[in-house]
Structure 1
Amino acid sequence: MASPEFSAAAFFGKKRQVGTGRSFRMVHAKSWTLKKHFVGRPTNSDFELKTVELPPLKNRKVLLEALFFTVDPYMRVVESKNSAFPIGTTVVAPSGWTAHSISDGKNLEKLLAEWPDTLPPSLALGMVGMPSLTAYSGLLDISGVQGGETVLVNVAAGAVGSVVGQIAKLKGFKVVGAAGSDRRVACLEKYGFDVAFNYKTVKSLEETLQKASPEGYDCDFDNVGVEFSNVVIPQIKKFGRLAIAIRNELTHMITGVERRDKEEIHRYGMGRWMAKRTRDSFNPISDRLKIKADLLNSSYRVVSATNDSVLLGKIQYHEHITEGFESMPPAFMGMLREFGEAIVKA
């Protein structure tokens, strides 16, 4: 059975002359695959680096070479027989952990033509990419928060949580953030969170949440799922909102779910499963709580408002960048130890 490949988004490559089928130089593409499904946390032995020879480029196809990856890529067209993607076009693609790939263009999203020179292009994978889309849609569309309300964000120093908190502050909300280290808490304070705490070191999460907002919470933006919510939900105000954001399948690959849960995920879909499981845990109060789960896949949309806010210094960002394609597994395994968007520069 073939080893599964990781999905990712990437920026791809360097300008080259458009080739023909006869003159096409064979490209040997490096690709990381999952050697075996890991139990608990992954190790280096769970991954395998392979080299495959790509076929000659056909009409309406483009050859991509990776520049940046998210480990959860960012690419430029290096050879093209597709007029929609001239050589040198920078795109985001769900390519997997591979240094080169061939695409028909249907799954590619171009980087904004007016992308500012002062912004790192890797931000299209983080602060100005999917995390900002998740943050905007989850906070403003799904949660429907209103001015003066109190928002709780867990994993608040992560790529999504940090945007949620900063957007909420710009909109005039009170923001409480939970993070997993003192270093991350300091980052949240720098971002302007009203209250920030290390959930791993507090004596009582319940008491800490009550102290941070004695009147309760209007919205909980949940990036981790049920376990944290077990403590939070009783403190959400009547008719408050719980927004569950699940960025991709890597989330439950790391945390792990039981076989029965996996069957239910297949049956209901990840988003509906999370909402159902949360309701099942809190039947007595679920009739007064609005629960919505949003599973965002690899589709890519740039949020222009975030771009402008970053340029104006209204939203701050942090990237954890690892150098080298061969460093993909270590970067993946270290993803939960760092904060901000985990990026690998090819």
Structure 2
Amino acid sequence: MMKRCVYIILLGITALWAGKYGDAFMIAAYPAAAMGTGHIGVTQLTGIRAVPINPAGLSYGRKMETYLQYNALFGLGFQYGLGYKNRYGDHWHWSVLWNRVGVNAIEEHPDLSSMTTLERRDFVRTQAGTYATFDSREDLITLTLGRHIRHRIDLGWQYDEFFIENPVGISVKVLNKSLYGESARGIGADAGLRLIIPGNEIFYIRNLGEIVFGVTAQNVYSTGIYWTTGHVDQARMRMLWGAALHQPVRFLYSDLRLMVQNVWLDDPAFHWGVEWEIMDALAFRLGKDDLSMNAGAGVRFPMGKYHLIVDYAFQDHPLDVGHKVSLTLTREDAE
């Protein structure tokens, strides 16, 4: 007998990433620059691209940025994002970012719970067009405020003084979901910081680059998502932490970034990534998350007072290959 099974292939995808979280769909909204390095972003992303992973990176972007992203989720769903960033006064940066993840024309199927994830995927594809359909939407609006703080470190007359950069940021996010005639809403918050330390000053190694530590508390105190059915999902608090070495390679006019990222308050999900940026115009990326190898590239195109940054990422996911494209428009004279 047919029964209305609230099974959505996208939820199967996000469950593989972080299925215990009511906002797991937001991992699909990570920018292409993060996906290309194994979904790492707690240490190196700047501007509005940093907001979904570490809001502290917001204060390291240009004064004005406009952001657009599209992501075809393995041919089964879609994700797109739109955002704007600017500066307030001399120290504060703010942004608003909207992301949507959805699936159109989801078919009502018999109970597929006895199948594996890949068997369910193949069943959906081979039986397409034979059942009644419905849609799913998951939206997130994020308002972020960031500030760049600089600490002067003086260890006494026997040592040279140096500075530690300390960007911080906080996001307030509003979630809205719609599924099979029901809806849900929730409000949560993320907070993050980074410490950027000059390695040559700490270790007295000439030409050593910056050492970066980053921490993000996602869903501070947990986020309740309340459905019209009375059910409550929980986006539980978790903490991302990461470390990186940003090493200039001057004779090649480039920067090499070596990164690792993991999770506290959850099952460990170790990620590593490498990014090689050449003349602030071209970037190559490679990384591995807890599921697969990823790769990507970025190109900066000058357009008068503006620059257009195009990021692309490829993921060899167990369900299928994935592709993601992000566009960021910055005003280069607006510091």
Q: TM-score range by the shorter chain?
A: under 0.3
- Which of the two has greater helix per residue? 1
- Which of the two has greater strand per residue? 2
TM-score, length basis structure 1: 0.25
Q: Which has the higher contact order (CA 8 A, sep 6+)?
A: 2
TM-score, length basis structure 2: 0.25
